[in-house]
Amino acid sequence: MNILVLLGSPRSQGNSATIAAHLAEAATALGAQVRTVELNGLSYRGCQACYACKGKAERCVLQDDLTPVLAAVESADALVLATPVYFGDVTAQLKGFLDRSYGFLAPGYLAGGQKGRLSRKKLVFIQTQGNPDQAFFKEIFPRVNHFLEWMGFADGQIIRACGLGPNRGEAIPESVLAEAEQTAQRLVEGWGLRPSFR
Ligand SMILES: Cc1cc2nc3c(=O)[nH]c(=O)nc-3n(C[C@H](O)[C@H](O)[C@H](O)COP(=O)(O)O)c2cc1C
C-alpha cells in the first residue's frame, strides 16, 4: 500500500508532524510505502480558476512544486493530511493544496454529473490545536471531508490533539500516538470504521 502524507504545518518537528510521523513509522513497519511531503517547503500558487481541469485537461495544469504532489495523490492508496488549526481553520499551506485539488473533481461535476475523478482512496486527517476544548474547531474536518468525499476519498478518519501549544511534539498524549498507530494498522490491514461510527 502506498501512503502519501502531506504536512500543513511550518514546524517540521511540530505536533501535527510528530503525530503524522508516528502513523508513518507504524505503517512502514507493517509494510506500507510511505512518502511525506512538507508543503511549507514547496513553492506553489493557489487555484487560478482557469477551469482547464473542467475541460479537456481534466487535471490541474499549473506547473509548480505542487504539480508532482497532485500526481502523487492520484497514485496513492491513502492520503494523510496533517495540520494545526490557524485562526479556526487549516493552515494556508494546506488550504492552497485543497484549492488546487479542485482538479480531482470530474469535468462533468459542474453540470451535475459524476463528481470525483478519484476512486475510493482512504483519508486520514490529523488536526492539532492550542485550545484544549474539543468542541472548538470540530467543524473543520467534516467541512473538508465533505469536499474530499466528492473527489473519491472514502471513510475519512480524524485524529485530533487539543491543548497543544508551541512545545514541539513533546506533550502529545500517549492515547493520540496510540490512535495514530491503530489508524496505520487499519490503513494497511484493511480499512474498517471505528465501532462508535458504525
Ligand atoms: C498563526 C497561528 C494561529 C493559530 N490559531 C489557533 C486557533 O485559532 N485555535 C487554536 O486552538 N490554536 C491556534 N494556534 C495554535 C496551534 O494550532 C497549536 O499550537 C498546534 O498544536 C500547533 O501544531 P504544529 O506544532 O503541528 O504546528 C495557532 C498558532 C499559530 C502560529
Average pLDDT for runs of 10 along the chain of length 198: 97 96 97 98 98 94 98 97 98 98 93 88 97 97 97 95 83 95 94 46
DSSP state letters, the chain: -EEEEEE-SS-TTSHHHHHHHHHHHHHHHTT-EEEEEEGGGS---------GGGTTT-S----STHHHHHHHHHH-SEEEEEEE-BTTB--HHHHHHHHHGGGGB-GGGGGTS--BSS-SEEEEEEEEES---TTTTTTHHHHHHHHHHHHTEEEEEEEEEES--SS-SSS--HHHHHHHHHHHHHHHH-----GGG-
Amino acid in position 23:
L
Which grid coordinates are listed for 4? 502519501
Specify the pLDDT at position 168. Answer: 65
Q: Is 44 exposed, middle or buried (0-12, 13-18, 19+ CB in 10 A)?
A: middle
Specify the pLDDT at position 193. Answer: 46
pTM of structure = 0.95
- Print the domain residue range for 175: 2-197
Could you tell me the distance, in angstroms and rounded to a whole number, from the CA of residue 127 to the centre of ligand 1?
10
In angstroms, the CA 69 to CA 15 distance is 22
Tell me how many domains the chain contains: 1
Minimum CA distance residue for ligand 1 atom 31:
86
Specify the pLDDT at position 195. Answer: 44
User: Which residue's entry shows cell 511531503?
Assistant: 37
Atom of ligand 1 nearest to the CA of 136: 11
In angstroms, the CA 20 to CA 167 distance is 16
Atom of ligand 1 nearest to the CA of 166: 19
Specify the pLDDT at position 191. Answer: 66
Could you tell me the distance, in angstroms and rounded to a whole number, from the CA of residue 110 to the centre of ligand 1?
35
Amino acid in position 64:
D
Pocket residues: Cβ below 6 A from ligand 1: 9, 11, 14-17, 84-88, 128-131, 164-166
Atom of ligand 1 nearest to the CA of 82: 26
Minimum CA distance residue for ligand 1 atom 2:
86
In angstroms, the CA 74 to CA 175 distance is 31
Atom of ligand 1 nearest to the CA of 87: 8
Task: Give the residue from 14, 16, 15 showing the smallest Cα distance to 6.
Answer: 16
Specify the pLDDT at position 198. Answer: 31
CATH number at residue 181: 3.40.50.360
Sheet containing 78-84, strands listed edge to edge, beginning at the edge strand earlier in sequence: 33-38, 2-7, 78-84, 121-129, 153-162
